Amino acid sequence: MVNTQHVVAGHTLTLTAGVTYLATREFATRGKRIFPVTIETIGLAHVDAIKSITISGLSYDQANELLNGFNHGESCWDGRTW
């Protein structure tokens, strides 16, 4: 398995090539100011693949920018094959 780096919405991400990942964040609630984004495998992934990463300390707008830049399929649930 080969790990590769890409820059998405200003964040350098290292994930495993050929693996499909989905980026998600928690729903916004009143008073919440920090929105971590978690990127996790969806579907089948090789045992040596990077399973998940979390980008912390993002504002609502920053989190949405990362989600929109990462999940680029016809549906927001398609994720991205790295």
Q: What is the mean pLDDT of residues 2-20?
A: 93
- What's the whole-model pTM score? 0.84
To the nearest 10°, report the CA torsion of 68, 40, 11, 64: 30
Residue-wise pLDDT tens digits, 28-82? 778 888 999 999 998 877 778 889 999 999 999 999 999 999 987 666 677 788 8
pLDDT at 5 over 90: yes
Contacts of 5 by beta carbon, 8 Å cutoff, 6+ apart: 12, 13, 14
Give the pLDDT of residue 50.
85
Give the pLDDT of residue 45.
75
28 SS3 class: coil
